Amino acid sequence: MTESPQKTKIPAWRRATDGEHRWQVATVILLIIAAQLTEPARFTVHPHWLLPALEGIFLAVLLLSNPGRINRESVPLRAASLILAAVVSLANAWSLARLITALLTGHAGSSAGPLLLVAAGIWGTNVVVFALWYWEFDRGGPVARAHAHRAHPDFLFPQMQAQELVDKDWEPAFFDYLYVSYTNATAFSPTDTMPMSRWAKLLMLLQSAVSILTVGLVVARAVNIMR
Consecutive H or E run containing 187 = helix 174-187
3-state secondary structure 83-105: HHHHHHHHHHHHHHHHHHHHHHH
The residues near 223 (Cβ < 8 Å, ≥ 6 apart) are: none
Residue 90 burial (C-beta neighbours within 10 Å; 0-12, 13-18, 19+): middle
Residue 47: asked if its preceding bond is cis (omega within 30°), the reply is yes
Residues of the chain below pLDDT 70: 1-8, 107-110, 112, 219, 222-227
- pLDDT at residue 108, as a whole number: 63
For residue range 47-57, list pLDDT tens digits in order: 889 999 999 99
Q: How far apart are CA 73 and CA 56, in angstroms?
A: 22
For residue range 195-208, list pLDDT tens digits in order: 999 999 999 999 99
Q: How far apart are CA 83 and CA 97, in angstroms?
A: 21
Consecutive H or E run containing 195 = strand 194-195
CA atoms within 13 A on the CB side of 31: 14
- pLDDT at residue 5, as a whole number: 47
DSSP state of 108: S
Q: What's this model's pTM, rounded to 2 decimal places?
A: 0.88
Q: Are 177 and 138 in contact, with CB atoms under 8 Å apart?
A: yes
Give me the chain's average pLDDT, please: 86
For residue range 7-39, list pLDDT tens digits in order: 457 888 888 888 888 888 999 999 999 988 888
The residues near 206 (Cβ < 8 Å, ≥ 6 apart) are: none
- pLDDT at residue 166, as a whole number: 82
- pLDDT at residue 30, as a whole number: 93
